[in-house]
Structure 1
Amino acid sequence: MSILNNEFSIRYVAIGDSFTEGVGDIDADRPNGVRGWADRVAEQFMLADSEALYANLAIRGRLLDQIIDEQVQAAVDLKPNLVSFYGGGNDILRPSTKLDQLLERKGKAFAALRAEGIEVFTFTGMDVRDFNAFKSTRPKTALYNELLREVADENGVHIVDFWRMREFAHPVYFAPDRLHLNTRGHIKMARKVLDVLSDQSVSLEPDALTMPLDILNARPTRMQKVRDDARWAREFVVPWVGRRIRGTSSGDGISPKYPELTRFEVEQ
């Protein structure tokens, strides 16, 4: 698949949850205070194509059914020729999720987008083998990925295979909540996406992708780990549980960053 080298102008719409909204990549100058991989990919489109346009309808905390109900038709209405569609991560964290039914709906959503002549790419879920806090969800994510591959293949949807990107297993790519990518992680993910969408490798802030070995190899002491785990539980787990009990979401009151196709200034 080569989007950057095609002759038509790119009209890119991103739909999904916090992963696509850009949570973890803090930028006070952006709508919702975050940037993220999708913004960074769109910026590269704009640098390559003077008429490229971009919308981002993703909202943090959204379940897959909500993404389908709220964002798929809204994306179609914008008449894009490229859509990214990630959703399901929040569903996997819930014990009662019925993945077969969920992926059946996602397949129908893919079909609806493809029927409009839109190129679509999606993501597998990350392999959480090395993340103790989420390790129990690994079998569920593996099943989700297999079902996703099936419906993606059936509908000609391209896959960015997060599951097989072993380099993301290092915590240096993650925000303090241990769930979302940080700025370094979003930059790396943007490069992965561009590699899938283009026939040629795309340069993207290479200095931000390079880390000294002492950072990569650093391991906290046992006491540091206990303190870090306690702080993480206090600052992130307790509020998450509280939202589940109250039936609220981190996305309540949040609006899409870019609800209409737009352009913005991009530094070369």
Structure 2
Amino acid sequence: MWLVTGTQFWVIWNGVLIVTAIIAIAAALIMRKEFDRKKEKVAYNNRLLELEAKALTSQMNPHFIYNSLSTVQHLIVLNEQQKAFDYISDFSLLMRQMLNNSRKSYVALEDEIDFLTRYLELERFRFSNSFEYEFQVEDAIKVHSHCIAPMLIQPILENAIKHGMAPKKEKGMLKIAFSFHKDILECVVDDNGAGWKKTRSATSALKHESTALNIIRERLNVIKSYDDNPGKLEIIDKAANGYNDTGTLVKIFIPIINSL
């Protein structure tokens, strides 16, 4: 029978204590890491909710709502009841879509395009058909149902119409193109308006627009795609960057949150 001496006992005991201490430290580190991960996730979700709340209050410029109601009033004065009724109907649907989308973390791309189309139709009518628009959707996108964060594109369209094309005497053209790059949806908003630099220098107060753009940048920075890639926003003045046309190119790289 093997006997343990006093010295051997203390060696074994110390070994057990060391192993136990190592296990305890490792467990504490794992628990700390898990706690930090949960803390970061809570902070991320809180930040996302905060940005979404800001987006709700800033997406639809109060001037758009006021001008839309003024348009209805003008149609009634002109005795254009049917046009006024149609406008109110589309306007109420747009408001309902906006409120529904603002409560969601993500929406299907086709629903977002439907929302943007209704918005552009109302603005085109309000500006006496002074501009045309078209959507270009890459065939690869139509194969699957892609989900993105809502209400990122509308403020860009609003800027293009209000500050880019509305001041022009010629017919305006607005193109909205969607293409797919792995887990990022690229949306390019191309207008033939006055151009970004000219618009910024000619307008002294663009507080709402600047706030909306900053919120878009923040949201794109926080929202991650299913492969954990963030988005970004690029604004290009076409005339100042060698294009053969005036106007502004806005590229919105939107993380795909879900792909079905």
Where is the helix percentage greater, Structure 1 or Structure 2?
Answer: 2
TM-score of the superposed pair, with normalisation by structure 1: 0.23
Which of these two proteins has the greater Rg computed from alpha carbons? Answer: 2
Where is the strand percentage greater, Structure 1 or Structure 2?
Answer: 2
